[in-house]
Amino acid sequence: MLKTINSEKIINKAVNVIPGGVNSPVRAFKSVGGTPRIIKKGEGPYLIDVDDNCYLDFSASWGPLILGHADSDVVEAVKKQLENGMTYGTSTEVEWELAQFIADNVEAVEKIRFVSSGTEAVMSAIRLARGFTGRDLILKFDGCYHGHSDHLLVSAGSGLATFGQPSSAGVPKAITSHTAVLPLDDEEALEKFFSEHGNKLAAVIIEGIPANNGLLIQRHDYLRLLRALTEKYGTLLILDEVITGFRLGLGGAASYYGITPDLLTYGKIIGGGMPVGAFAGRADIMDMLSPLGPVYQAGTLSGNPIAMTAGLTTLRKLADGKIFRELEEKNRRFVTDITEQLRDCVVNIAGVSSIFWIVFQADLPRKASDINSDGISHYNRIHEKVLNRGIYIPPSGYEVCFISAVHPDKMLKDAATTLANIIRQEAHKWS
């Protein structure tokens, strides 16, 4: 059992001035139990907490640290920028450089605008879609998370297609009345919805690969049907690439599925670990934004030079594709290794590119309703045991894990064995 006395002390002080002691709910460990770890340092593939416990990190700050913690090139570039200032509230050359890099490497991106978070990117993209089409209705999918703006904090009802019900206190029903929710991987429901509402639909938004409620890898045919229906009805397709953008290669999920969305949203890796977001797409749509068009969007810290520098340095290191190929192979071996060791257990490891998800059920789900809640409970019970063996996995069974370029093969092989042993030791309790 690892000592957590210093983490406990800090959490006990934090709860007096920060709601729940945390600035994002999952960090409170409410689902998994145990003491939230207070981290003081990230180094390569490791997290080090205030009790000097060292963990092999499979969270990677929820995805952006594809090069690992404190990559020397990113740190050096940020230091140089810091010497010239942290923020100006003006335009900078590095904004254009990062924008040009993304436009050069993503087919669907003709123009892009930077913001400060993925939530802000999605919120702005939807406003833009409504302004461009002159329509109000938005369609999202159950199990996809697009940030915490009011009109997307909705849950599905009992029907196949339902107009969203607020899933958070403080969100008026009137705001979510223009957001509809469908299950993933249901072609019949999708076609029926479009036949009834397509002419009123401003945009459909979907995660590139849903990765905030499990790793719900969709069929290529389903995404292509969605693209065809949006084109038929003059509806914009927004691909939320906040997690998948530059995790699934330079082209992200758009390239993976072979589709061209009208708009995309980004975050995570394009900031190299710094707070950033962006929305991008067709020039005729993007030119509806002020100062060119009537759709207003602004931000004092948008295009922050520190974030732009960190992001550009990160993406340039990914540009030749070598790191992506190595990561995909590492993840393939890692997932295969765990799976082979757990053939006698009811457990699956879903994997795509450098993302994996531990799921305690026989079949890999493609929709939120297929996730076994008992399996999530199994994950919750092993979480602290995994932490105590020096492996940091997300404090929620619904969250995915990430492999970074600095995870050595031997380290991954040892981690696979450790995880498999912990799961097997607990398996007799799950029957």
Active site residues per annotation: 145, 240, 268
CA of 394: how far to CAs of 94, 273, 357, in Å?
Answer: 33, 17, 10
The runs of H, that is alpha helices, within 134-180 are 173-176
Closest by CA position to 64, among listed 307, 279, 229, 304: 307
DSSP string over 60-72 = GGGTT-TT-BT-H
Q: Are 141 and 184 in contact (CB under 8 A)?
A: yes
- 271 Rama class: left (phi>0) / alpha (psi -120 to 50) / beta: alpha
The runs of H, that is alpha helices, within 300-342 are 305-318, 322-341
DSSP-derived pairing of the beta strands 348-352 and 355-359: antiparallel
Neighbouring CB atoms inside 10 A of 416's CB total 21
Q: What angle do CA 391, 397, 402 make, to 5 degrees?
A: 50
Distance CA 309, CA 12 (A): 36
Closest by CA position to 270, among listed 205, 317, 209, 217: 317
Q: What angle do CA 250, 255, 259 make, to 5 degrees?
A: 145
φ/ψ of residue 12, rounded to 5: -65, -30
CA 91 to chain centre: 28
Distance CA 168, CA 148 (A): 9
Distance CA 80, CA 83 (A): 5
DSSP 27: G
